[in-house]
Amino acid sequence: MTLNSLVAIGPHDEPATTSPNVSQSRKPNVLFIAVDDLRPTMGCYGDGNAITPHLDGLADRGIRFNRAYCQVAVCNPSRASLMTGLRPDTLGVWTLPIHFREAKPDAVTLPQWMRRHGYTAVSHGKIYHNPTPDPQSWSEPIRNLPRLPTFYPEGTRDVVRKAMNELPANDWRKNNLRGPATSAPDLPDHKVLDGARTDLCIEDLRRLGKSQQPFFLAMGYIRPHLSLVAPKKYWDLYDPDKLPVLIGEKIPQGAPPYAMHNNSELSHYVDLIGMPKPWDDDELSADKARRLVHGYHACVSYVDAQIGRLLKALDEEGLRENTIVVLWSDHGWKLGEYRGWGKMTNYEIDARVPLIIAAPAMKTSGQSTESLAGLLDLYPTLCELTGLEIPDFAEGKSLVPILRDPDAEVHPSVTSQYYRKHEGREYMGYSMRTDRYRYIEWRDFGTGEVTFQELYDHSTDDGESGSASNLGKRETKNLAETIEPSVLNRLSSLLRSTHPPRKLNMTPAVHTSPSGPGRLPVDMTFENRADVDVKVYAITTTGRRGRGRTLQPGASITLNARIGGAYVVESSDGKIHEIHSPSWPMRTVVIGQ
């Protein structure tokens, strides 16, 4: 099914206008917009506090998915799953540190697939989890930003240094403490990170739009991820005293002790060193909570304005009628719900994401849908919309039936998951959302044995999430022990049909052997004969990348390696991706020969 079959102009419709620069017969472009840590804090999702006119306008042009969910409620595995079209268990990426290329070196990403079918793919900002971009995905190296002014007040560095010096010697933040969690610099939009990136993206939009080749242009916004930094004028849009601040919240009754995250994401910041955990007696003060809520809303409005600039440029270039626009977030975010701040749980507040898809001349534009959807579905959806073959490996389902008819259903359920380590034992929690229930099944990571079950009924009125109904029902009391057993059994069987119990292995395909032949030391030389820069990454026993060493054309480097080690070599243009291990006698790895 092609785009034309979805949005074919009827006999009484006005013909679509296109730019004279654009061929009528070429495939549609894709503008792929990601917003980090964005929950449905948007006017079009019913949040009366949010000031988001441009996102609301995009929803008027497309379909708003009211029940869309990520695969994992944290950046790296969520984005890796979406971009490869693979479930986290297939990909082997469940946590922040592992690059998906080390977990599955032969994965084919969405932009790679589109490049194979004639698209130019260009990226800006955070599409994959930083700092692990994927140069193989893109037709051009990612452009560097100009130097930007600091967004913290003068003297902030001294405050951070003093606080670090006062931390205990064994504190994990001793050399990793960050500045304040919020900042409102009096700077123009383009002098702050997301605005500067939007400038570059607009330049590329105008350039790519003049080509006869269709483009896949990705723009990833970092805010409202911490730290919550937006120009002062966006803070001034809000009266902080009128924003909802949750005090006296409780964690879900009857949940296992490892269900909640410990709020450590915020304790990275100098003004939140003593961040309480959800199960502590103390909770974040109302003043600090209000500052975070204010900052979050300011950042959302700042990003909304940048998206407005991007969409305006699309219109100015005459590209709207031949461009599919997708707006998504990698996961939700807690603003005090369950005494939590951040993401990293299996509950609705963290798993649910905003998702808007606007295709040219959509017959269903301006409508919303309650049909279940997952970010995993974007890969096959964009293939179908652009008339490309859907690859056999894609594990999601195309959402095109819902774009045609918002009442259509493509999933009986959608599953998120989250890895936990608690008291020395590892767990994987599978969180399945159906029309009525959220069923969570915790399993032993190494065996697949079920260790705990949670069940929440979304048809009952057990309280709204915060003061905004756009965030849906709360999961407040675990019903697993009181519900009719047949309901639990039915839900468990449905979950197992897509996620059968099995042993999981955190060690990715590419890793340093912990027990090579004596782990003998041996020098290893890399020589770059390619005409582009390359980076050499040492890989640890757990598959993590070390700091990359850049080799310019003609340069070489000799590393103190060990037998059983592993190294990844990548070029800045994405054409080179190699995996090497040291050997005896010593050998030189020649790159680009």
Active site residues: 75, 129
AA letter at 468? A
Asked if residues 79 and 364 have their Cβ atoms less than 8 Å apart, the reply is no
CA distance linking residue 169 with residue 24, whole number of Å: 65
* Pick from 578, 587, 580: nearest CA to 534: 578
CA distance linking residue 136 with residue 112, whole number of Å: 7
CA distance linking residue 521 with residue 527, whole number of Å: 20
CA atoms in the 13 A half-sphere facing the CB of 492: 17
How many other C-beta atoms can be found within 10 angstroms of the C-beta atom of residue 506? Answer: 16
Contacts of 435 (CB under 8 A, 6+ apart): 372, 412
Provide the β-strand partners of residue 526: 557, 589
CA distance linking residue 572 with residue 352, whole number of Å: 34
Contacts of 134 (CB under 8 A, 6+ apart): 83, 99, 100, 101, 109, 128, 574
Asked if residues 173 and 273 have their Cβ atoms less than 8 Å apart, the reply is yes
CA distance linking residue 107 with residue 87, whole number of Å: 12
Q: What radius of gyration, in Å, describes the C-alpha atoms of the chain? A: 24
AA letter at 316? E
Token pair in block for residue 544: 């993590």
Bridge pairing between strands 29-35 and 352-358: unpaired
Strand order in the sheet with 414-422: 414-422, 425-433, 437-444, 450-457
